[in-house]
Amino acid sequence: MRYHLKNPFASGVLAAALALLGASCQKAPAPPGGAGAPPAPTVTVSQPESKEVTEWDEYQGRLDAVATVEIRARVTGYLDSVHFTDGAEVKQGDLLFMIDPRPYRADLDRAEAELLQAQTRFELASNDLARAERLLAAKAMSAEEADSRAKTEREAAAAIQSAAATVEMSKLNLDYTRVTAPISGRIGRKLITEGNLVNGSQGQSTLLATIVALDPIYCYFDADERSVLKYRGLAREGKEESLEGGRLPCELELADEKGFPHGGTLNFVDNRVDSGTGTLRVRGVFANPARILEPGYFARVRVPGSAPYRALLVPDAAVGADQGVKFVYVVDASNHAQIAPVQLGPLMDGLRVVREGLHSNDWVVVNGLMSIRPGAAVNPSRSGAAQEAAAR
């Protein structure tokens, strides 16, 4: 018995459906690591930079003048003239003020005249004494009269000394009418103008101006007790100059400066620790030829807190933290990122000192840390130095 298909189109559709079903049942499995797996993230790695470093302790300080002088009148009189510009630099010996000298010149003339009179009286007394000695030897004058002439001669000699002292004092008073700069530095504004009466009496002398020295200049700061003990310990071990020796180097920068461009030395340490704050007053001295440093400025001072030593440094951005533990990612030989716990030191020029946990030949992940996890495969791109990575 034969069966004939009444609808040829329907039979064609059925054949096509069966063919598609057979193809779906024969789907090939995805190859491992093929196009379906995510690619390993690309990270930048570099080896730690090895160089000699010195740890520094930083402090806030204030600049102060090495010398400050108040210019006061030493004689009384009317101010004749002022010979400087407010705020200008003056040199030692420069004329600053002139007090009317005429009364003191007249007083000097009188003193010199009195000295001449005293010298004349001494000459007369000396001649009388010489005659008395001759007469006494010839028994023509009594001993009492000769003794009187000797005392007169000594009195005249004393009068010369008194008159000479008066002349010297008159000369000093005349000199004091010229008020000169006792030190070199910057002078402030004049506190009294021409034509005013100034007083030279001790305890009531008129303040005319002030001068502050500019080169060198001091910087005072307070160091904590622990740091001072550390410095002295380094000095005992011979790793650093003595804090009291005046040769321990220090560096300074102003509020608008970077890199501590001003070098100096510590030259003074106070003789006791402040029991209230636990700090010790320390002073550094700095050369100031360009007059950049001014008394009263705030400044940052740093002092070497260790002897120079060789250290490994990595970019500070490469350091992570997990519950207080610091770590970096290190790429191993199979290009997998591994966690390396580290002990850190200070930050220096954008790089962090690593005291423990790294070797100089380790490859540290410095860029792309957010895309990796411990043990994950990575695609490392090697950078030449940690300093280059830190600059990115």
Which residues on neighbouring strands pair with residue 108, listed in sequence order? none
CB atoms within 10 A of CB 311: 21
The ranges of the chain annotated as CATH 1.10.287 are: 101-176
| Residue-wise DSSP of 75-90 | S-EEEEEE-S-TT-EE
Tell me the Cα Rg of the chain: 46
How far is Cα 360 from Cα 312, in angstroms, rounded to an integer? Answer: 7
149 closest CA partner among 138, 133, 172: 133
Check if the beta carbon of residue 240 is closer than 8 Å to that of residue 248.
Answer: yes
User: 315 burial class (0-12, 13-18, 19+ CB within 10 angstroms)?
Assistant: buried
CATH number of 101-176: 1.10.287
Q: Of 319, 299, 309, 327, which Cα lies nearest the Cα of 366?
A: 319
- Tell me where in the chain the CATH 2.40.30.170 domain(s) lie: 217-304
Alpha-carbon distance values, 193 to 88, 105, 230, 390 (Å): 17, 23, 54, 61
Residue 70 backbone phi and psi in degrees, to 5: -90, 125
Residue 117's SS3 state is helix
Strand partners, 43: 380
Q: Are 288 and 236 in contact (CB under 8 A)?
A: no
Residue by residue, pLDDT tens for the chain (392 residues) are: 333 434 444 444 434 444 444 444 444 444 444 455 678 888 888 889 888 888 888 999 999 999 999 999 999 999 999 999 999 999 999 999 999 999 999 999 999 999 999 999 989 888 887 888 888 787 777 888 878 888 888 888 999 999 999 999 999 999 999 999 999 999 999 999 999 999 998 889 999 999 999 999 999 999 888 888 888 877 777 666 666 666 788 999 999 998 899 999 988 888 888 888 889 899 999 999 999 999 999 999 998 887 788 888 889 888 888 888 889 889 888 988 888 898 888 888 788 889 888 888 889 888 888 888 888 888 888 876 555 545 55
β partners of residue 309: 53
Please classify residue 75 by burial: count the beta carbons closer than 10 Å to its beta carbon, then call 0-12 exposed, 13-18 middle and 19+ buried.
buried
Q: What is the pLDDT of residue 190?
A: 94
Whole-prediction pTM? 0.69
**pLDDT tens string 135-167:** 878 777 788 887 888 888 888 899 999 999 999
pLDDT for 18 equals 44
- The single-letter code of the amino acid at 323 is Q
HSE, side-chain direction, 13 A CA sphere, residue 374: 7
* pLDDT attached to residue 147: 81
Fold assignment, 42-50+310-390: 2.40.420
Q: For position 36, what pLDDT does the model report?
A: 54
Segment (H or E) for 214: none
Q: Is the domain 217-304 a CATH 2.40.30.170 member? A: yes
